[in-house]
Amino acid sequence: MMLARSARCAAAAGSSTSTSTSASTASTSRLVVSRVAKGEGCRSLSSVAAPSRPALPLSSLAAKVGLAKRAFHTTPTPRHGGIERPAPGTGIKLTFRDSKGNDIKTVEANEGDDILSIAHEYDVDLEGACEGSIACSTCHVILEPDVYDQLDEPCEDEEDMLDLAFGLTDTSRLGCQVKLKKELDGMVAQLPSATRNMYVDGHKAGH
């Protein structure tokens, strides 16, 4: 009987301890929940679980961002005009003449400059719609026979465009393909009475 009673006492004590532990655990849980609800626990947990990291220097951050960017490359479009004018009296002389035989202006340029670029630099009305890519005939000029004979033969693309030129002659060339050299000093480039540009608009009234 004493053993049974001791057993019951021990069981009661264990039950009491378990109940006390459960109550304590429940109380602690309610306290944590309460603090979390107030935002206190979040700050504590955050500070423990995720310690602050030193900020990256701006240079490092910029470098990382730069690595993520794709590089785009563009091919510049050939442009005519914007050549450098030689000092007066030192360049190669070129006279532009209209279709009626009247001189428009005499200018100076450097060796290697092409007639189209020279015309644009000095505001002479020579169109060049394709900007020197040999895709139109709007920079068509008529040269004197002795000048024409000193030039290299036109390429096949130039020949094809000259076939579309208005007022084609035996000494016609595309201005974008004629480059000055010292032997051509004093040359004359005559503009046709009209230009034809099938590539753009069919026909342009002339000079």
In three-state secondary structure terms, 189 is strand
Model confidence, pTM:
0.58
Task: Using pLDDT thresholds of 50, 70 and 90, give the confidence band for residue 11.
Answer: very low
Residues of the chain with pLDDT > 70: what percent? 55
- 81 vs 74, which has greater pLDDT? 81
Name the β-bridge partners of 95: 106, 188
Give CA–CA dist 2/66, Å, rounded. Answer: 85
Q: Which residue has the tokens 């039950």?
A: 15
H or E element: which one contains 190? strand 187-190
Q: Residue ranges per domain, the chain?
A: 1-46, 92-205
pLDDT score of 195: 78
Task: Using pLDDT thresholds of 50, 70 and 90, give the confidence band for residue 57.
Answer: low
Kindly state the average pLDDT of the residues 6-11: 44
Instruction: Please list, residue by residue across 166-181, b when 16 or more beta carbons sit within 10 angstroms of its beta carbon and e when fewer do.
Output: beeeebbbbbbbbbbe
Give tens-digit pLDDT for 105-162: 999 999 999 999 999 999 999 999 999 999 999 999 999 999 999 999 999 999 999 9
95 and 141 Cβ atoms separated by less than 8 Å: no
Judging by DSSP bridges, how do beta strands 187-190 and 92-97 pair with one another?
Answer: parallel
93 and 185 Cβ atoms separated by less than 8 Å: yes
Give CA–CA dist 46/31, Å, rounded. Answer: 18
In three-state secondary structure terms, 163 is coil
Whether 170 has a pLDDT exceeding 80, the answer reads yes
The class level of CATH for 92-205 reads alpha beta
Give CA–CA dist 142/125, Å, rounded. Answer: 14
The torsion angles phi and psi of 59, rounded to 5 degrees, stand at: -65, -40
126 and 176 Cβ atoms separated by less than 8 Å: no
pLDDT score of 10: 46
